């Protein structure tokens, strides 16, 4: 009999499902199986097509196993292997030199949720960066604009527990493609459908989710607020607004009604490009098919006016009376749940020697190439992210990464496009090789991750690398020597969300209880300043923003001059089998989706002489790329779709804009005008 043991783990990737995994380890210490935990109510015993062959990732022969120092031109991925001592001495010595020459702010940390673990995402790293007085990185690349908008309307809320979605009779997936991007939350939607729920998808693109929906509503990109206002008007016209609930639990009902009464459904139809009958059906369904749920994704918040779009959409369930019902209301990121365990104290912002500047991660290209920036970014330290592929305006990013006077350090598991530009590459452990605990931005569970195997080669956890760097940088505060175990003990000391560390560790997962109950806002209790849902948002008025729901148009998509020259709008959503750019180097995932492409509607293809399979050049003033065309009405006329994530050339990311959204400085990947020509 072999002596196998099963270890509790957590999928670390930036996905709302945050699956509880079981890792089987044999008596030689080798992981032989990964599986979804059958007892975890959202994971339900399966892992997705990205992660089910995780052992191929962990044991891949492409893993970075030793520190590397650049031995060729930047971007060429020519390195020589060195010892940890040599690599760390070089990094610490260079960071010290940069700080002496330009000050700490010339150091820019760059990280995101490559791992979502409380520890490995940004704890010891944050302490070191804070102590050095490095620039503060504003991490807005993912969901920020939508959070700003939904919070403006309903405050930070636990939102609707996805385990209650099966109660719904209508689910609207708005700018969300869960069949690909949240396969476990998708199962809960399927449960609702089995019980009779109708599924509506709001998306310009016929995504995999849209393909199987009962109804597909296809607005022009960035016009979702117009669609929502049209739906409100249709409810008003039919006498379907829940005035009683709104008067009891919202602010600004009469003003919003006056606003909504000002324009007919036809007016909004002409702005968003959705037929008035369909808008009306959406409005009526939301009011009549209770419990009704609007579930927003990230796709519709990648436009200049995104905050107002999400805020306006968040008013719909209130007007429809959905919050009265178990399962009804609005969900995006369950902000109260996702924030229940506050890891910010672990980052020790108090270590900063004084105020520091902020650089937005979605403006990396500008930050690295702006000759006026004072101090310049002279050192870039990257972990848990692949900015050469995922940051907008990729050619600018790559010009920046190519600078000979920039010192770049990348902590990575694989030789990503970003790592190719590094001066020093430090090998990182995978989730099976380090300790962590994870929050979720999709469901209400925390998940534990014990290390299952020893680190491969000389790979080290991010926390350990920054501990070693701290010692070499002469940072001697005791906080730089606490262990990972000690940090987790501190994080859970007060049993946040009523979760105790022992319980979490023993079972591998635990549900957060904020006392939200099954219908958290049936009787108000919003976390807004006055506890009421803000149909009128006075905090916006304080910022000189119209406090009533309205349509704030996209920047490039709605620009008539630009559209004369660049007539097509481009969306760059996620792929089915990569997670952003993660997994693009793995044989099974890349084999199933081997190359990037652009979906073109026949009305746009034919006049340009483009046939299905033709190579086309996609371009605008920022950059270009050559891709095969897929001619199909999965794209809307005038709207192209080129999914993101492949390695090598930045692809359509060469055309995306560094423009930020108006209210929360988030990226505008889907607010992008381009033209197309055959090659």
Helix axis angle, 306-320 to 224-237, nearest 10°: 20
**Which residue, chain included where needed, has tokens 């600078």?**
403
- Give the 3-state secondary structure of 439-453: CCCCCCEEEEECCCC
Least distance to ligand MGD from the beta carbon of 205, Å? 4
Q: Does 147 bind Mo ion (CB under 5 A)?
A: no
Pairing, β 107-111 against β 329-331 = unpaired
Q: How far apart are CA 259 and CA 536, in angstroms?
A: 11
Instruction: Out of 18, 335, 363, 386, point to the residue binding ligand MGD (CB under 6 A).
Output: 386
657 binds ligand MGD (CB under 6 A): no
What DSSP state is assigned to residue 275?
-
Interface region with ligand SF4, contact rule CB under 6 A, candidates 10-18, 196-204, 308-316, 518-526: 10-18
Q: Please measure the distance between the N-terminal and C-terminal CA atoms of the chain and give it in whole angstroms.
A: 62
For 298-443, strand residue ranges (E) read 329-331, 358-360, 379-383, 407-412, 424-427, 436-438
H helices present in 143-275, as ranges: 144-154, 178-181, 183-194, 208-211, 224-237, 243-249, 253-261, 265-272
Query: Measured from the CB of residue 323, what is the shortest distance to Mo ion in angstroms?
Result: 27
Enumerate the H helices of 103-196 as residue ranges. 118-122, 124-132, 144-154, 178-181, 183-194
Taking CB under 6 A as the criterion, which residues in 172-201 touch ligand SF4?
A: 183-184
Contact yes or no for 453/29 (Cβ under 8 A): yes
Of the candidate residues 54, 148, 165, 205, the single one contacting ligand MGD (CB under 6 A):
205
Helices (H), 321-384: 335-338, 344-347, 364-369
Tell me: does residue 360 bind ligand MGD (CB under 6 A).
no
- 630's enclosing H/E stretch is strand 624-631
Q: Which does 112 bind (CB under 5 to 8 A by kind): Mo ion, ligand SF4, ligand MGD, none?
A: ligand MGD
Residues 13-52 that bind ligand MGD (CB under 6 A): 14-15
CA-CA distance, 385 to 669, in Å (whole number)? 17
CA-to-CA dists, residue 161 to 24, 157, 438, 446, angstroms: 31, 11, 18, 14
Identify the residue whose tokens are 């790979």: 459
Is 598 one of the binding residues for ligand MGD (CB under 6 A)? no
- Applying CB under 6 A, does 219 fall inside the site for ligand MGD? yes
Q: Are strands 568-571 and 673-678 parallel, antiparallel or unpaired?
A: antiparallel
Report the residue number, 13 or 74, with the smaller CB distance to ligand SF4.
Answer: 13
Give the separation between CA 183 and CA 179, rounded to whole angstroms: 5
Give me the numbers of helices (H) and strands (E) for the chain, helices first please: 26, 27
Interface with ligand SF4 in residues 491-520 (CB under 6 A) = none
Contact 229, 550 (CB under 8 A): yes
Q: Phi and psi at residue 510, in whole multiples of 5°?
A: -155, 145
Residue 455 engages ligand MGD in binding (rule: CB under 6 A): no
8 A C-beta contact, residue 138 and residue 665: yes
* Nearest residue to ligand MGD, scored by beta-carbon proximity: 299
Give dist(CA 361, CA 363) in Å, integer.
Answer: 5
Contact 246, 253 (CB under 8 A): yes
Number of residues that bind Mo ion (CB under 5 A): 1
| Contact of residue 47 among Mo ion, ligand SF4, ligand MGD, none (CB under 5-8 Å per partner type) | ligand SF4
**Min separation Cβ 73 and ligand SF4, Å:** 35
Cα 348-16-467 angle, rounded to 5 deg: 30
Q: Which region among 12-20, 86-94, 214-222, 356-364 touches ligand SF4 (by CB under 6 A)?
A: 12-20
Q: Does 48 sit near ligand SF4 (CB under 6 A)?
A: yes
| Nearer Cβ to Mo ion (90/141) | 141
Please name the residue that has the structure tokens 């050619």. Answer: 395
CB of 600 to ligand MGD, least distance (A): 14
Q: Is 13 in the site for ligand SF4 (CB under 6 A)?
A: yes
Q: Which is nearer to Mo ion, 105 or 159 (CB)?
A: 159
Q: Say if CB 260 and CB 229 are below 8 A apart.
A: yes
Contact range with ligand SF4 by CB under 6 A, out of 42-50, 82-90, 202-210, 656-664: 42-50
> Which residue number, 181 or 278, has a Cβ lying nearer to ligand SF4?
181
> For residues 107 and 95, is the Cβ–Cβ distance under 8 A?
yes
Instruction: State yes or no: residue 50 binds ligand SF4 (CB under 6 A).
Output: yes
Nearer to ligand MGD, 204 or 321 (CB): 204
Spatial distance between the Cα atoms of 625 and 389, rounded to a whole number of angstroms? 13
Confirm or reject binding of residue 222 to ligand MGD (CB under 6 A). Answer: yes
Q: State the binding partner of 655 from ligand MGD, Mo ion, ligand SF4, none, CB within 5 to 8 A by kind.
A: none
Any idea what DSSP says for residue 428?
Answer: B
Is residue 17 a contact point for ligand SF4 (CB under 6 A)? yes
Binding flag, residue 142, Mo ion (CB under 5 A): yes
By CB under 6 A, the residues from 401 to 420 that bind ligand MGD are 411-414, 416
Residue (45 or 97) nearer to ligand SF4, CB = 45
Considering the complex, state which of residue 534 and residue 635 has its C-beta at the smaller distance from ligand MGD.
635
Phi then psi for residue 519, to 5 deg, are -130, 80
Could you say whether residue 175 binds ligand MGD (CB under 6 A)?
A: yes
Check binding of 670 to ligand MGD (CB under 6 A).
yes
Residue 428 makes contact with ligand MGD by CB under 6 A = yes
Q: Contact 323/454 with Cβ under 8 angstroms? A: no
CB of 596 to ligand SF4, least distance (A): 20
Cα(89)–Cα(86) distance, rounded to whole angstroms?
5
Single out the residue of 43, 408, 572, 586 in contact with ligand MGD (rule: CB under 6 A): 572
| 419 lies in the binding site for Mo ion (CB under 5 A) | no
Whichever of 129 and 142 has its CB closer to Mo ion, that residue is 142
Minimum CB separation of residue 312 from Mo ion in Å reads 22
Residue 56 main-chain phi, psi, to 5 deg? -65, -30
Residues 224-243 that bind ligand MGD (CB under 6 A): 224
Cβ(394)–Cβ(647) below 8 Å: no
Query: Which listed residue (388, 545, 566, 644) binds ligand MGD by CB under 6 A?
Result: 644
Phi-psi label, residue 443: left if phi above 0, alpha if psi -120 to 50, beta otherwise:
beta
Give the one residue of 339, 573, 596, 623 binding ligand MGD; rule: CB under 6 A: 573
Size of residue set near ligand MGD by CB under 6 A: 59
Q: Note whether 203 binds ligand MGD by CB under 6 A.
A: yes
One of 140, 582, 655, 657 touching ligand MGD (CB under 6 A) = 582
Binding mask 90-129 for Mo ion (x = CB under 5 A): ----------------------------------------
Closest alpha carbon to 642 in 621, 616, 610: 616
C-beta of 251 vs 343, nearer to ligand MGD: 343
Choices 148-156, 282-290, 346-354, 571-579 (CB under 6 A): range interacting with ligand MGD: 571-579
The residues binding ligand MGD (CB under 6 A) are 12, 14-15, 112-115, 120, 141-142, 174-177, 180-181, 202-205, 207, 219, 221-222, 224, 297-300, 303, 383-386, 389-390, 411-414, 416, 428, 462, 571-576, 578-582, 644, 653, 656, 669-670
The residues binding ligand SF4 (CB under 6 A) are 11, 13, 15, 17-19, 47-48, 50-51, 183-184, 579
């Amino acid at each position: 009999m072999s002596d196998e043991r099963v270890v509790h783990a957590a999928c670390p990737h930036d996905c709302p499902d945050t699956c509880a995994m079981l890792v089987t380890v044999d008596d030689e210490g080798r992981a032989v199986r990964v599986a979804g935990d059958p007892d975890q109510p959202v994971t339900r015993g399966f892992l997705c097509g990205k992660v089910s062959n995780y052992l191929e990732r962990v044991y891949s022969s492409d893993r970075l196993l030793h520190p590397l120092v650049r031995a060729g031109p930047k971007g060429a991925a020519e390195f020589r292997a060195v010892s940890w001592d040599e690599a760390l001495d070089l990094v610490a010595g260079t960071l010290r030199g940069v700080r002496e020459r330009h000050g700490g702010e010339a150091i820019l940390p760059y990280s995101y949720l490559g791992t979502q673990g409380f520890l490995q995402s940004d704890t010891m790293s944050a302490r070191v960066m804070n102590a050095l007085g490095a620039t503060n990185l504003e991490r807005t690349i993912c969901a920020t604009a939508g959070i700003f908008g939904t919070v403006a309307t309903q405050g930070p809320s636990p939102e609707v527990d996805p385990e209650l979605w099966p109660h719904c009779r209508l689910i609207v997936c708005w700018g969300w493609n869960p069949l690909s991007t949240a396969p476990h939350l998708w199962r809960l939607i399927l449960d609702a459908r089995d019980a009779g729920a109708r599924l509506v998808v709001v998306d310009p693109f016929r995504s995999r989710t849209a393909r199987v929906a009962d109804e597909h509503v296809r607005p022009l990109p960035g016009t979702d607020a117009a669609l929502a206002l049209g739906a409100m008007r249709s409810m008003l016209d039919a006498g379907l607004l829940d005035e009683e609930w709104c008067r009891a639990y919202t602010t600004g009902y009469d003003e919003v009604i006056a606003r909504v009464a000002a324009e007919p459904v036809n007016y909004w139809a002409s702005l968003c490009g959705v037929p008035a009958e369909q808008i009306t059906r959406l409005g009526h369904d939301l009011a009549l098919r209770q419990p009704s749920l609007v579930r927003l994704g990230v796709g519709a918040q990648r436009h200049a006016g995104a905050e107002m779009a999400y805020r306006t959409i968040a008013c719909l369930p209130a007007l429809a009376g959905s919050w009265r019902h178990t399962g009804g209301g609005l969900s995006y990121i369950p902000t109260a749940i996702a924030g229940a365990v506050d890891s910010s104290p672990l980052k020790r912002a108090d270590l900063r020697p004084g105020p520091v500047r902020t650089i937005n991660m979605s403006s990396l290209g500008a930050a690295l190439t702006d000759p006026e920036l004072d101090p310049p970014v002279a050192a870039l330290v990257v972990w848990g992210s692949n900015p050469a592929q995922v940051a907008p305006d990729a050619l600018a990013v790559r010009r920046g990464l190519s600078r000979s006077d920039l010192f770049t350090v990348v902590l990575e598991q694989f030789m990503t496009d970003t790592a190719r530009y590094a001066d020093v590459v430090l090998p990182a452990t995978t989730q099976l090789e380090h300790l962590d605990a994870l929050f979720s931005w999709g469901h209400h569970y925390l998940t534990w991750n014990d290390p299952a195997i020893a680190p491969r080669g000389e790979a080290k956890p991010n926390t350990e690398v920054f501990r070693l760097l701290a010692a070499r940088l002469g940072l001697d505060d005791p906080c730089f020597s606490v262990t990972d175990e000690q940090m987790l003990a501190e994080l859970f000391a007060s049993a946040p969300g009523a979760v105790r560390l022992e319980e979490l560790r023993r079972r591998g997962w635990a549900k957060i209880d904020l006392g939200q109950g099954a219908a958290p806002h049936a009787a108000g209790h919003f976390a807004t300043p006055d506890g009421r849902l803000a149909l009128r948002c006075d905090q916006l008025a304080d910022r000189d923003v119209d406090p009533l729901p309205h349509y704030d148009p996209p920047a490039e998509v709605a620009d008539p001059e630009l559209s004369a020259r660049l007539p097509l709008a481009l969306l760059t959503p996620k792929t089915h089998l990569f997670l952003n750019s993660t997994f693009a180097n793995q044989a099974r995932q890349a084999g199933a989706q081997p190359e990037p492409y652009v979906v073109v509607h026949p009305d746009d293809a034919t006049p340009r002489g483009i046939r299905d399979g033709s190579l086309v050049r996609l371009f605008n003033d920022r950059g270009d790329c050559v891709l095969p065309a897929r001619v199909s009405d999965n794209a809307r006329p005038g709207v192209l779709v080129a999914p993101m994530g492949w390695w090598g050339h930045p692809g359509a990311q060469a055309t995306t804009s560094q423009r930020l959204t108006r209210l929360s400085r988030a990226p505008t990947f889907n607010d992008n005008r381009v033209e197309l020509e055959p090659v």
